Structure 1
Amino acid sequence: MSGPLWLVPGDDETGHGRTDTLPRVPRPRRPEWAAPDPIDELAERMHDLIAAAVHPDEIAAIIESDGMNDDQIRLTYGRDSSFALAEELFERVPRHYPEPDGAYLDPWRVSLLACLLRALVFALPGLSFAVGAHLLTGPPDAHGLPAGTVPLLAGALAGWVWNQALAHRAYSWLGLGERRAAARALALGAPAGAVAGALVAWAASSIDQDATGAVLFAVGQAFYLGAATALLVFGRERALLCALAPVVIGAAVLVAYEPPPLVRSGLLLLSLGAAVVLAALTLLRHRAEPRRDGPGPRLVASLPYALFGLATGALVLYTALGDVLRYGTEARVAAPAAVALTLSMGPAEWLLYRYRSRALAGLRAATTAAGFWRATSGALASCLGLYLVALAFLGYVGAVVWPDGPPMDAVRLLGLLALGVVLWIGLLLQAFGAVLIAGVVGVVAALIQTAVLLAGTLSPAAIQLTVCGTAALVLAALGSALLGRATAHR
């Protein structure tokens, strides 16, 4: 033989050199007559999808969406399940994230001005309490609350629960492209919810015998909530803003002049009538669209959203109620915190979109599951921090400029921020379909706050800080864990 079959590292061309190193075994090659590996064929067919995945679970979801079950995978590919096959495909195909052709369009980029307009629409109805103050007069009830407080809060909470579920059902129809069905759901559900809210307020008035004016106000409030829900679902914020103009004018007049009760009631009825008429016209226009056949969303799917509405409504109302119990029988002392929370919904909505935009960017840039979790957790922390800054600013300004309001001390401010964390992360989880988790945590917090408040062992501000602070920590941990998975953002 003239030389070695292969050269060992360190040898020269004659084969002389190191003899203590084992020869490198060449990689075996598949004979030309052998059948191709079906996994190789699958990897080649799904190469782009596999290369862009940041976790094997993404590949498993794609395999299952193609209709392959575990029995077919065992027969065809010799693997136990879609997850086992996905892990092998993930190892065989290297990571590669090609940039899309053309400019990248971020679907979650929205206008901050539009979000602030929606927050203004949410806050302006609060002026109706100032315009309709003549309906809320009378001696305190048996619990020392201002006249009409119980029926007003009961009616508002009932409307909040009903309209959260109704809005979800309407949005579900819109997601299927069924504007006619969404309009039909609102046309039936909004009046039914208004009647239910009015009945709840009337039933709660038995606690306060001298609350006729408050019950009438609560009835108008119930019908306004139904009309506003219909307009907001179809994106008619400007129409709703126009409907609120009489109330805004009435509140502005009250600064320098107190009009007679008849004029004030007329302004309230004018705004209510405008909102109802605009909502009816909007629904009639969409009811005229062609009908499409197909399965619709299940009614039971909207129940978690009603639970979330109950949780958020109760926690926000406790903010106002706690101030009334501590600082006196004048309902206006509770306004700064409630107004701050309402106005903060504008920045909150914009930051929710901002989080989804940054999460999508992280999904495009991350090459590992840990890297994606770090990106989403950082986005969650920064967006939540910006929202808390906005909420603290609004709460402090409201406490300074609002007459006869409670002082914004450290305990009250931290309690308000803790409630803000619960609301913002709850809305974020709701956007990703984890609304049941957010609703359960919120309801448990509301029940605990109710029990402690009735016991009277702590001040309302301390109760809010303790309960909402604990709920905020729980939701923050759940949000980081759930939204740190790439599959949650598909």
Structure 2
Amino acid sequence: MSGSLWLKRPTTDTPMPMIPRPRRETAPGAPGAGPGPGPGHDTRIPDALADDPLDELAERIGALAAVAVHPDEIAAILESDGMTDDHIRLTYGRADSFELAEDLYARVERRHPAPQAPPGGAWPAGLAGCLLRGLVFALPGLAYVLAAPLLAGEQGRFGLPGGTVPLLAGAVTGWVWNQALAHRAYTWLGLGDRPAAARALLLGAPAGALAGTAVALAAAAPGETPAALFAAGQSVYLAAATVLLVLGRERALLCALMPLAGAVPAFRWDLPDLLRAALLLTALTASVAFAGLVLRPGARRGAAGRGGPPRAASLPYGLFGLGSGLLVLHAGVGDTLVGGAGAVIALTLSMGPAEWLLHRFRGESLTRLRTLATAREFRRAVTGTLVLCLGGYLGVLVALTLAVTLAWPGAPWSTLPRLVTLLLIGTVLWLGLLLQAFGAVLSAAAVCLLAAAAQTLEPAAGPVAAGGAAAVLAVLTCVLLVRPTAHRL
């Protein structure tokens, strides 16, 4: 999972309309005034017949009102310009900004600009990049295949294989820390300050590696030292991978992970322990080296730039990483460490197409925003796009699950009930990522954490918890994202 859906706000500011002033009246006897009226008449005579102030306002903000798909958008423009309800009642004779916005919406003709055609090959190139990210998300799973004989030991705790607890503890700690760190770095990138983003990663990535290592060592029981050491290397890798993914170095990360392809023969033949350890250490060393190279701009003095975004703003993203990570772990629990990794591999591989479909949903929604004239049409179009994108993602997840099932015939998670649970978890992840991309990360994190807590307390309730979470996120998505204002940049 990544935060690549950050979209910058427009760099040009649209000038807001000036509030029209009432026309001045001319007193009798003043230069240019006509003869005074007779007795009993009003002594004030307007110098000219004033135009309707609403016409003048419609002319001033016509360019903005013409592209609005709902009166609420015009009301937001009026309020941002400082128009109070008292001013609107005195000047325009309407009760408030919403009534004035409805009149303007009805008076101004819709003039949506034609959507710009995407550059040639934009979607295929975007798809290739997202598939690459999905591949580098899944390749680290081969490290568990290589390390399985090295970690083999006595039966572990909680009915899990030996060494699983420190591995999971270190992994979850890394997910939480690195999700929050990635958000902070992406925020710096959104501000156009790449050296400051590198500086944030330079300070945060080693701290995350130390935190994951400390938690894994603390969770290790006697006899689980090899697993704790592997978890320490896993924490270091997660920190390096976060740096490379945030800074757009997916190809470098792919090159660093290539030694893990040596795990493929391990599915059929027994490899020497020395070779297994060498492949793991080579991939880890290459990942750290590449991360160090791309962090050089952050090492310069003064690279931190301004004060930066508040650190508390990154906390919900860490909580979302915790909840989604726990759900993925529950999906991958099997009778063996390797067997249980099959579902995780299917989910992680699907994150590449999922990311592309998230981009596709955003692009289609923005196109509809420019071409449709009413809020009802927009809601209908966005709902259809949402159903198609979610359905496409679940179709990809089913195909990947079947492919991995062929590689692991008879895996404990390949039964129909577990497949249904896997699809429900996939729905939760995709909708959660979609809400996160539109700023509703706290709601997505809360739902994922509740579902993960329910599965942890009662593993048999996994399908119910995942189904409930998917239903809640679907309702939240339909409520939030069918509004035109949610798609304004």
Q: Do the aligned partners of residues 196 and 469 (structure 1) sit closer, same or farther apart at CA in structure 2, a change above 3 Å counting?
A: same
Match of 1:352 in 2: 358
After superposing the two structures, state which structure 1 stretch, 190-199 or 81-90, moved more: 81-90
User: Which residues of 2 match residues 133-282 of structure 1 at below 5 A?
Assistant: 133-205=148-220, 208-248=221-261, 250-255=262-267, 257-282=269-294
CA 1:179–1:78 in structure 2 vs 1: closer, same or farther (change >3 Å)?
A: farther
Distance (Å, rounded) in 2 between the aligned partners of 1:438 and 1:424 = 10
CA distance in 1, matches of 2:355, 2:318: 19
Q: 1:296-331, CA deviations, whole angstroms, 9 ceiling, x for partnerless residues?
A: 21111111101111110011111122x33xxxxx21
Corresponding letter in the other structure for 2:443 = I
* Contact 1:332/1:405 (<8 A) preserved: no
Q: Report deviation, 1:288.
A: 4.5
1:437 lines up with 2:452 in the alignment: no
Q: Which residue is 1:314 aligned to? A: 326
Which residue identity lines up with residue 154 of structure 2 in the other structure? P
State how far apart, in whole Å, the 1-side matches of 2:420 and 2:467 are.
Answer: 8
Shift, 1:104, TM fit? 6.2
Q: Are 1:416 and 2:422 counterparts?
A: yes
SS in 1 for 2:295: helix
Matched, 1:394 2:396: no
Q: Could you say if the C-alpha distance between residues 104 and 412 of structure 1 is closer, same or farther in structure 2, counting changes exceeding 3 Å?
A: closer
- Aligned to 1:377, which of 383, 388, 409? 383
Which residue of structure 2 aligns with residue 49 of structure 1?
64
Q: CA deviation at 1:267?
A: 1.9
Q: Is the 8 A contact 1:108 1:353 kept in 2?
A: no
For 1:59, what is the secondary structure of its paired residue? Answer: helix
Equivalent residue letter for 1:203: A
C-alpha displacement of 1:263:
2.8
Distance 1:420 1:106, change over 3 A: farther
The residue type paired with residue 389 of structure 1 is G
Superposed displacement of residue 97, structure 1: 2.1
Is the contact between residue 346 and residue 401 of structure 2 (CA under 8 Å) also seen in structure 1? yes
Distance 2:150 2:84 in 1: 65
The whole-number CA distance in structure 1 between the counterparts of 2:117 and 2:355 is 26
8 Å CA contact 2:298–2:304 kept in 1: the answer is no
Bigger Cα displacement from structure 2, 395-404 vs 208-217: 395-404
Q: Secondary structure at the match of 2:458?
A: helix
Question: Could you say which residue in structure 1 is the equivalent of 2:37?
Answer: none
Report how many residues are paired: 442
- The question of whether the paired residues in 1 share the 8 Å contact of 2:196 and 2:305 is answered with no
Displacement after TM superposition at 1:464 (Å): 2.5
Match of 1:338 in 2: 344
* Corresponding residue to 1:301 among 293, 313, 320: 313
Between 1:119-128 and 1:71-80, the stretch displaced more is 71-80
Q: Does 1:476 align with 2:474?
A: yes
The equivalent of 2:371 in structure 1 is 365
For 1:107 and 1:42, the matched residues in 2 are separated by 43
CA–CA distance in structure 1, aligned partners of residues 303 and 417 of structure 2:
55
TM-score relative to the length of structure 1? 0.85
- Select the residue among 115, 135, 155 that pairs with 2:130: 115
Q: Check whether the contact 1:97–1:364 (CA below 8 A) recurs between aligned residues.
A: yes
Query: How far has the Cα of 1:39 moved from its partner?
Result: 2.6
Please report the TM-score for the alignment, with normalisation by the length of structure 2. Answer: 0.85
Is the aligned partner of 1:425 residue 2:431? Answer: yes
Q: Please give the alpha-carbon distance, in whole angstroms, between the structure 1 residues aligned to 2:75 and 2:122.
A: 26
Preserved CA contact (<8 Å) 2:244 2:294:
yes
Q: 1:287 to 1:407 in 2, by over 3 A?
A: closer
Gap change, CA 1:56 and 1:104, over 3 Å in 2:
farther
Q: Note the C-alpha offset of 1:280.
A: 1.1
**Residue identity opposite 2:69 in structure 1:** V
Q: Deviations over 1:145-190 (max 9, x none)?
A: 1111111011111111111100000000000001111011100110
Please give the alpha-carbon distance, in whole angstroms, between the structure 1 residues aligned to 2:287 and 2:118. Answer: 40
Contact 1:140–1:147 at 8 Å: present in 2 too?
yes
Which of the numbers 405, 412, 416 marks the counterpart of 1:406?
Answer: 412
Deviation per CA, 1:458-488: give whole Å up to 9, x if none. Answer: 3xxxx33211111111111110111000000
How far did 1:371 drift?
Answer: 0.9
The Cα shift of 1:372 comes to: 0.5
Q: 1:310 to 1:106 in 2, by over 3 A?
A: farther
Distance change (3 Å), C-alpha of 1:449 and 1:95 = same
Q: Note the C-alpha offset of 1:108.
A: 8.4
> How much does 1:405 deviate?
1.2
Q: CA deviation at 1:367?
A: 1.4
Preserved CA contact (<8 Å) 1:181 1:287: no
- Which amino acid is the alignment partner of residue 480 of structure 2? L
SS where residue 210 of structure 1 aligns?
A: coil
- For the aligned residue pairs, the C-alpha RMSD in angstroms reads 2.4
Answer yes or no: is the 8 Å Cα contact 1:169–1:302 preserved in 2.
yes
For residues 86-125 of structure 1, give each alpha carbon's deviation from its aligned partner in whole angstroms, at most 9, with x where no partner exists.
Answer: 223212223232436x756699845211111111100001
Structure 1 range deviating more: 349-358 or 399-408: 399-408
State the Cα distance separating 1:222 from its structure 2 match: 0.4
- Percent identity over the alignment is 56
Match for residue 77 of structure 2? 62
Q: Unpaired segments of 5 or more residues in structure 2? A: 1-45
User: Does the 8 Å CA contact 1:310/1:443 hold for their aligned counterparts?
Assistant: yes
